[in-house]
Amino acid sequence: MVLADFIREAEPRQLRAMLGLTLVAGLANASLIIIVTNVAETVSYGLRPSLLHWITFLIAFGLYYFANQIALVRSMEVIEDLLNRKRLGIADKLRKSELLVADSLGRGRLYNLVAKETNHLSVTFPLVVDAIQQMVLLGIALVYLLYLSPAAFVVFLATIGMSALGYKVIDRRFRGILELVERMQAQMLDAIVDILRGAKELRLNAAKSEAVAAAYRKRSDVLERLLVRSVEHWVSLILLGSLSTFLMLGVVAFLFPAYVTGHKTIIFQLIPVLLFCMGTLWKTVAQSPMFIRAEVGLQSILKIDEELSATSSISPDEARLHSKAFLDFSTISFNEIQFSYDRTDPEAYTVGPLNLTVSRGEVVFLVGGNGSGKSTALRMMTGLYPLHSGWIGVDDAAVAGKAVAGYRELFSSVFVDFHLFDRLYGLEDIDPGRVNRLIAEMGLADKVSFEDGKFNQLHLSTGQRKRLALIAAVLEDRPVYIFDEWSAEQDVHFREFFYNSFIPNLRRDGKLVIATSHDEKYWKVADRIVKLDLGRIEWIKSGSEWEDR
């Protein structure tokens, strides 16, 4: 069982304490039932409960209450700790995983698993503790049943054996449906994200809005049908429980007094014990869909964890260590580098093979039409996309294996799909005055300020957000700067500032700048202009050549 294996990852000391307390609670529970039965028998003889009855009842009750309470609280501590570790582990692996791996996992799937399924697990776990207690009770009741009537004990076991077969079939189908439910729920989350992100487009276009709603409805209806089918299995389980209970009681009540010797008088004792055993068992079985759901969810969480573990990852410390070898570079060479979005498909978009050597203090513009491969080339050059062939050299050394993570530390970037963090992570000791001066230089002083280690707000226009991202990149102070269509949303003033002041300043400071650009007017600023077409270099010209035009 995946759930059991997962719980076993807890500290053995904690597990022993939890199990010990659960067993004590179970035994106390059984004792309470035995004491009450005994008291009832005493009262049926016209006697009053003795002092011993009172004392044992109070002790068993106290023991049950406290052991149960501590067992449940402890078990929640254990499971929350395990889940927290798993959540943190996945977030950590995700952060360190390769870009394409993280992209391929899907947001809806990740959110569904990490947020929702872990929640379901924490809700289900107290039921597991209860199930263990029920099994202790059942064990004790079965011993009593064996003592009362070995024949009834055998009938009980035979009924359970037969029911187990039915349970197995239901369980297998139920798991299959739950896996589908989980996949559908992830798709629903993706669809909701579409509705939220496409808010403007949908409000401006009723037909589009209707079509998106129809697509969402379709998924929601499929989910509803799947959930109904899953409930049908739950109902089947409950009915299987009732069916086997009545079958067993029927056999004992109808046949035992007549055909099994010595069962005429004890039948009144036998029936309640059998009912108790079945009740205890089927209470747990009826809860089992919750366990199965938790199992299926956990299985998927572990699968994502495994997928992330299988891909290469490297710790920030290792990356920093590797970066030391590259920090004083003079040149970076891209040698026959090639990347395809799908290696198995010869038709898939491929960039390369590209050959280019760039130097510290140089400004290189990648130019070309839409879809010519500029952004993809930038991702290859920065080591974000794995090369399918060719190699990157820093001075004379080839960048390979774990060193790629160190190589990435050379770059500060503002990609087209950049993310603006509300604080300058990794720059916690930065002088706020310097940040606010840069904010003023970028014309954002009346909009944003840097206070208490974070930007006070990020509700800005796209161009303004890009200016803030530029500030964050400058503050990182790396030797290589990557700008992907940075000027696309800038007004005339800031476009001018970017090309004629900002980039030349970076060159003066000895930085290497690689930027994609559609602004022909400013290409002369570059030392070299590299034109791409269909993922290949069409020509390379010097900026001065462009100036002469």
Ligand X SMILES: Nc1ncnc2c1ncn2[C@@H]1O[C@H](COP(=O)(O)OP(=O)(O)OP(=O)(O)O)[C@@H](O)[C@H]1O
Which residues contact ligand X (rule: CB under 6 A)? 341, 349, 368, 370-376
* Shortest spacing between CB 245 and ligand X, in angstroms: 57
Work out how close the CB of 529 gets to ligand X at its nearest, in angstroms, rounded to a whole number: 14
The distance of closest approach from Cβ of residue 104 to ligand X in the complex, given in angstroms and rounded to an integer, is 10
Which stretches within 149-205 are classed as H helix? 150-197, 199-204
Going by C-beta distance under 8 Å and a sequence separation of 6 or more, which residues neighbour residue 406?
318, 319, 320, 321, 322, 323, 324, 325, 326
Going by their DSSP bridges, the two strands 411-414 and 480-484 should be labelled as parallel
Between 23 and 110, CB nearer to ligand X: 110
Which helix (H) or strand (E) segment is 534 a member of? none
Question: Closest separation between CB of residue 374 and ligand X, Å?
Answer: 4
For residue 548, the tally of other CB atoms under 10 A from its CB is 7
Provide CB contacts within 8 A for 230, sequence distance 6+: 174, 177, 178, 181, 289
- Min CB(371)–ligand X separation in Å: 3
Strand partners, 528: 364, 542
Output 341 or 425, the one with its CB closest to ligand X. 341
Residue 343 C-beta: closest distance to ligand X, Å: 12
Give the shortest CB-540-to-ligand X separation in angstroms.
Answer: 16
CB of 286 to ligand X, least distance (A): 47
- Least Å distance, CB 505 to ligand X, is 25
Question: Angle at the Cα of 223 (from 218 to 227), degrees rounded to 5?
Answer: 150
Residue 175, CA atoms < 13 Å, CB-side half-sphere: 12
Which one, 270 or 366, has the nearer CB to ligand X? 366
- In whole angstroms, give the CA distance from residue 438 to residue 440: 5
CB 388 within 8 A of CB 344: no
CB of 284 or CB of 517, closer to ligand X: 517
To the nearest whole angstrom, how small is the minimum distance from the Cβ of residue 20 to ligand X?
53
Cβ atoms within 10 Å of 48's Cβ, excluding its own: 8
C-alpha 355/C-alpha 343 separation (Å) is 20
If the CB atoms of residues 109 and 293 are measured against ligand X, the closer one turns out to be 109
DSSP assignment of 305-347? HHHHHHS----HHHHHHHHTTTTT-SEEEEEEEEEES-TT-TT
- Residue 188 near residue 221 (C-beta atoms within 8 A): no
Give 124 or 516: the residue with its C-beta nearer to ligand X: 516
**Chain centre distance of CA 47:** 63
**297/373 with CB nearer ligand X:** 373
Task: Report the residue number, 181 or 384, with the smaller CB distance to ligand X.
Answer: 384
Please, what is the minimum distance in Å from the beta carbon of residue 348 to ligand X? 7
Q: Which is nearer to ligand X, 368 or 383 (CB)?
A: 368
Q: Which is nearer to ligand X, 85 or 343 (CB)?
A: 343
Q: Which residues contact 53 (CB under 8 A, 6 or more apart)?
A: 35, 38, 39, 42
CA distances for 222 relative to 112, 184, 292, 293, 468, angstroms: 17, 8, 21, 18, 44
Residue 392: both structure tokens together: 């990157």
Q: Considering the complex, state which of residue 64 and residue 339 has its C-beta at the smaller distance from ligand X.
A: 339
Cis, peptide link before residue 346, omega less than 30° from 0: no
**Across the chain, which distance is largest between two alpha carbons, in Å?**
118
Q: Which is nearer to ligand X, 145 or 367 (CB)?
A: 367
Are residues 93 and 313 in contact, defined by beta-carbon separation less than 8 angstroms? yes
Q: Shortest Cβ distance from residue 378 to ligand X (Å)?
A: 8
